[in-house]
Amino acid sequence: MAEHDQSKESLQESLQQVIHLLSKHRLVESLVHKQDMPRHDLVETLVHKQNLTELQKKLDELHPADVAYILEALPIEQRLLVWDLVKAERDGEILLEVSDAVRQTLIARMDSEELLAAAEQLDTDEIADLAPDLPQDVFQELLVTLDSQNRERLTSAMSYPDDTVGALMDFDIVTIRDDISLEVALRYLRRLGKLPDHSDKLFVVDRRDRLLGVLPLKRLVVNDPELSVAAVMADDPVIFHPEEDASEAAQAFARYDLVTAPVVDADNKLVGRLTVDAVMDFIREESESEVLSLAGLREEEDIFSSVWKSMQNRWTWLAINLVTAFIASRVIGLFEGSIERIVALAALMPIVAGIGGNSGNQTITMIVRGLALGQINMHNMKTLFMKEIGVSLLNGLIWGGVLGVAAYFLYHNVALGLVMTGAMTLNLLLAAIMGVGIPLLMTKLGRDPAVGSSVMITAVTDSGGFFIFLGLATVFLM
């Protein structure tokens, strides 16, 4: 029995083996290049070939997802060498598994024929996932090879935006009628001989393909075979529509513990199905991109992409940040006179700005999450707002007090200590107000509050913190 433990260890082990074989290969290559004696050549080429054969054998044994993992973990040059060794008929499956960035490096290596051959191995919904990365001419040729039903499915699947149910669904549906007995249904399945991956239910439709219910395999196997499908099926399954938001569908999948679910059009006609693995991939990608976007990375980055590509991925955020930092700098510039007179202000001001930024980010994370879950609404907004005000007021007085005392001991200036405490409290209040206000405003304007809210709050608490602290100092200390 293939132990899973082994299979996981072996994923790391496989990676190490591939790297080892690659390095042997490279060693031989460099020998061949350095030594020109023809006598050696033959031996070297043999060893060389042997290594590659071993490597190829190793790759053939691996699950497509594992080959994808190894490809992602290898620097470009070695990645392409390994890619060339992968059997052509597995190309399609593997392309589906790798990240977008790595997929582009692999596709760039393939000619039209190879790409066409790879795509032809795939199901229509899988082709739809791959299509945006394919060169236009390959895609056109591909369309020609499909029959009219699949061509229609492909164009319809591609017409749905990335974050809708339509983009996640597949077409591996097995349908039955409701007027047959379970016995007949079982005979039909035995004739079929195979069910699609993840099939946990059959879809019950009328003759015009309209969904009547679903027959879970569980019910099929535990019930009396004499009973009719209609008597045993669930007639109120959770259903989805292709144009629905994928992340809401994902929440529903988790909430109602679904494995597969039917997707129907406006006329209740069955058009596809959603499976838990597509939903799980979607959740993982979504949470990934949330973490990446918090750090200002535009998309998943191939860790071995060129310096130039990496910079493009990271520039937007840095540029925005440069602008906000520059504004904050100009706010300080307004008070250069005050700083010249009390230089301690320069040393203390980053504390006020920094703590405000942190506190604001905590508030905004809470609010964005509550909005995403739909748990924040007009009704409870005021309660929440008052709570955040309370937290920031207390934090400001306590931490601001501590810092005020610290400032007093450092600079022996009571007024400076009081200004410090006051500025901290006011900046934390500003952070709380903006931390609640920015996401709510963005939602009102119909924008996603998760995108860029962290940048905005930090910009406000930086510039605001400098302004409040230096402003108070100018008023009370000069």
Nearest CA to 324 among 358, 366, 357, 284? 357
Near its own copies by CB under 8 A: residue from 43, 46, 108, 221: 221
Near its own copies by CB under 8 A: residue from 43, 46, 231, 394: 394
Six token digits for residue 455: 């940048």
User: For residues 434 and 456, what is the distance between their CA atoms, to the nearest angstrom?
Assistant: 9
Near its own copies by CB under 8 A: residue from 154, 168, 246, 403: 403
DSSP category for residue 205: E
Cβ atoms 263, 242 nearer than 8 A: yes
Near its own copies by CB under 8 A: residue from 370, 437, 452, 471: 370
Near its own copies by CB under 8 A: residue from 34, 379, 412, 444: 379
Q: Does 310 bind its own copies (CB under 8 A)?
A: yes
Nearer to its own copies, 7 or 155 (CB): 7
Q: Does 197 bind its own copies (CB under 8 A)?
A: yes
Q: Does 230 bind its own copies (CB under 8 A)?
A: no
The piece of 28-36, 53-61, 66-74, 133-141 that touches its own copies (CB under 8 A) is: 66-74
Q: Does 211 bind its own copies (CB under 8 A)?
A: yes
Shortest Å distance, C-beta 327 to its own copies:
10
Q: Does 231 bind its own copies (CB under 8 A)?
A: no
User: For residues 247 and 282, what is the distance between their CA atoms, to the nearest angstrom?
Assistant: 8
The piece of 50-58, 87-95, 105-113, 321-329 that touches its own copies (CB under 8 A) is: 321-329
The piece of 35-43, 138-146, 152-160, 252-260 that touches its own copies (CB under 8 A) is: 252-260
Near its own copies by CB under 8 A: residue from 35, 149, 316, 383: 383
User: For residues 90 and 60, what is the distance between their CA atoms, to the nearest angstrom?
Assistant: 9
Nearer to its own copies, 43 or 402 (CB): 402
Nearer to its own copies, 103 or 139 (CB): 103
Q: Does 178 bind its own copies (CB under 8 A)?
A: no
Shortest Å distance, C-beta 336 to its own copies:
5
| Ordered alpha helix ranges (H), 193-273 | 217-222, 229-232, 246-255
For helices 344-372 and 378-411, angle between their N-to-C axes, nearest 10 degrees: 160
Near its own copies by CB under 8 A: residue from 14, 51, 105, 395: 395
Nearer to its own copies, 155 or 399 (CB): 399
Cβ neighbour number for residue 108 with a 10 Å cutoff? 10
Near its own copies by CB under 8 A: residue from 37, 42, 291, 445: 291
For its own copies, the binding residues in 410-429 under the rule CB under 8 A are 410
Cβ atoms 367, 437 nearer than 8 A: no
User: For residues 404 and 101, what is the distance between their CA atoms, to the nearest angstrom?
Assistant: 50
Q: Does 329 bind its own copies (CB under 8 A)?
A: yes
Total residues at interface with its own copies (CB under 8 A): 139
For helices 64-72 and 100-109, angle between their N-to-C axes, nearest 10 degrees: 90
**3-state SS, one letter per residue, for 37-104:** CHHHHHHHHHHHHHHHHHHHHHHHHCCHHHHHHHHHCCCHHHHHHHHHHCCHHHHHHHHHHCCHHHHH
Nearer to its own copies, 150 or 365 (CB): 365
**3-state SS, one letter per residue, for 93-156:** HHHHHCCHHHHHHHHHHCCHHHHHHHHHCCCHHHHHHHHHHCCHHHHHHHHHHCCHHHHHHHHH
User: CA dihedral defined by 434, 439, 442, 446, rounded to 10 degrees?
Assistant: -160
For its own copies, the binding residues in 25-44 under the rule CB under 8 A are none
DSSP category for residue 180: S
Q: Does 58 bind its own copies (CB under 8 A)?
A: no
User: For residues 431 and 367, what is the distance between their CA atoms, to the nearest angstrom?
Assistant: 13
For its own copies, the binding residues in 88-117 under the rule CB under 8 A are none
Nearest CA to 419 among 321, 361, 344? 344
Q: Does 347 bind its own copies (CB under 8 A)?
A: yes
For its own copies, the binding residues in 137-176 under the rule CB under 8 A are none
Nearer to its own copies, 394 or 414 (CB): 394
Q: Does 336 bind its own copies (CB under 8 A)?
A: yes
Shortest Å distance, C-beta 107 to its own copies:
20
